[in-house]
Structure 1
Amino acid sequence: MSTVSTRQTIRSYADVAGIRDNVVHLRESAGSAFDASSVTFDGTGNVLVVEDGARLRNTRLRFMGNGSVVYLRRSARFTEVIATVFHESVLYLGPGCSFTSPARFLPTERKHVIVGADAMFSSRVTFRTADPHLVYSVHDHRRVNASRSVWIGDHVWLGEDSLFLKGARVGSGSILGARAVVTKQVPSNASAGGVPAKVIGTDVFWTRPSVHGWTQEQTDRGASFDGDDFVYARDDDVVDAEALEKELDQATSAAERRAWCERLDALTGKNRFYVGP
């Protein structure tokens, strides 16, 4: 018996008008781009929001279930994302992020990947919220590997080949070394590396200029940085990530999940994603 495919695909801005049973905000606007990119829907009731002016390149978004949200803020740089999103999961990418190559996201089992503003993605960065196969205790036969969301703060440097697994939470201003496998909490203004990742430095911050082509004069000027722009601390703006996620998990539709993302946009305090004492 033959079956009729319900797959819908966007390969250009013009294709958006033909999408049915899913909500798409993806439109050509000042500064925008949709180069070598596609969006595929294999489900219904999903929401895709790409902020006006976003520049997508080498991006492939695939909705494999129903009721999910992909919410991408714009950047002056190209956004490069390969994401497969399943039922009722959320991928939120904050403004101002940069990519050396496409980052891979796999939010599944109704868990989420939340990335704050100004993240710097090195090559081949990957996120997974599930293992994904089931693991049980031999003593009581209960599952021991529940899926969990991943939270990344603002202005985080994600090193080459770094991997963020279920339950990872990284505070603003931190640095993850190349090939780090992150499974737990990394505080703000820390550096972490290894398998599994461990904190190897504290009370540090980083800035974006690349030193590869620097002259001696530039190196001398870069020996110090005047300002606390990227130093984070606890204050009244710090969000309760667990409470926020509980609100998200109580959402019953993609429209409500989209509204949650919009509320996250409104939390603009510098220290909102601080992690630490």
Structure 2
Amino acid sequence: MSDHIHLAMRGEDNEIQHRDCDFDNVTLDIIGNDNTIIFGRYARLRNTTLTLRGSGHRIHIGAHCEIEALNLRLLHGKGLFAVGDGSFILEMEASIFEGTRCTLGRDCLVSRGVTIATGDAHSILDTETGQRLNPSDDITIGDHVWLGLEAMLLKGATIGADCVIGARAVVTGNIPSGSLAAGAPAKALRQGITWDRELIPMAKK
């Protein structure tokens, strides 16, 4: 393991795979069994902490991904966090609860201060039956999605490909592909759009 990865691991059959990656200030904190972390070739990670509690978790960071700051927690077992090839994360806090999945597609751009949570840290209960009312749920983000400054994605959020999610938007439901969405809760304000990492000059009037 690289000198730039701090590894604390308790359990059996845990596996970490990486090849030709660049790590700086990366911490892997694992308590549990049969957990797998795969870093794709040429992935670059900085200031990242991956905390796994429970067994059967899977993390896959795609090839050529760049992560500047990530605090990721997988809790309760059998959770999945996956980032597609070529995506860039500037700063993200993510919590994966109760065996749910969070998948981020290829060539995505995550701005500073983005928060993702597939569930809640506490229970909401029906006072008559005692039944818990707040189950965890998957979050799915398509290819080539731009998550704006301090956007928040909550359990059940689904974002189609080529979307732009505005600053401080709160996504709780479905955003169709090719949408510009904003607000709390986020709604599609315009459809039929895409985006580019380069600032293309505006056409002169």
Which stretches in structure 1 are left out of the alignment for 5+ residues? 1-9, 212-217, 224-277
Contact residue 156 and residue 173 of structure 2 kept, 8 A: yes
Q: Please say which of residues 143-152 and 76-85 is displaced more in the overlay.
A: 76-85
Contact 2:155 2:172 (C-alpha < 8 Å) held by counterparts: yes
1:95 aligns with 2:85: yes
Indicate yes or no: 2:16 matched with 1:24: yes
The reply on whether 1:12 has 2:11 as its aligned counterpart is no
Structure 2 portions without partners, runs of 5+? none
Normalising by structure 2, what TM-score? Answer: 0.89
Identity value in percent: 29
In the alignment, is the contact (CA less than 8 A) between 2:24 and 2:47 conserved in 1? yes
2:167 pairs with one of 171, 178, 192: 178
Query: Which protein is richer in strand relative to its size?
Result: 2
What is the SS of the residue equivalent to 1:133? coil
The structural deviation recorded for 1:52 is: 2.0
> Secondary structure of 1:36's match?
strand
Q: Which residue of 2 aligns with 1:144?
A: 133
Aligned counterpart, 1:82: 71
**Cα distance, 1:20 vs. partner?**
6.5
> Any idea what the Cα deviations from partners look like across 1:88-135, whole Å, max 9, x if unmatched?
1000111111123x2111111111111110111010111101123211
**Alignment correspondent of 2:62:** 73
Cα shift readout 1:39-80 (whole Å, capped 9, x = no counterpart): 111222100100121111111111111110111102264454
- 1:1-277 equivalences in 2 (<5 Å): 12=3, 21=12, 22-27=14-19, 29=20, 32-75=21-64, 77-78=66-67, 80-86=69-75, 87-100=77-90, 102-138=91-127, 140-210=129-199, 218-220=201-203
Going by fraction, where is helix more abundant, 1 or 2? Answer: 1
Contact 1:64 1:85 (C-alpha < 8 Å) held by counterparts: yes
CA RMSD of aligned residues (A): 2.4
Q: How many residues align?
A: 202
Q: TM-score, normalised by structure 1?
A: 0.67
| Larger of the two Rg values belongs to structure | 1
Distance 1:183-1:36 versus aligned 2 partners, 3 A rule:
same
Contact 2:94–2:115 under 8 Å retained in 1 = yes
Matched position secondary structure for 2:60: strand
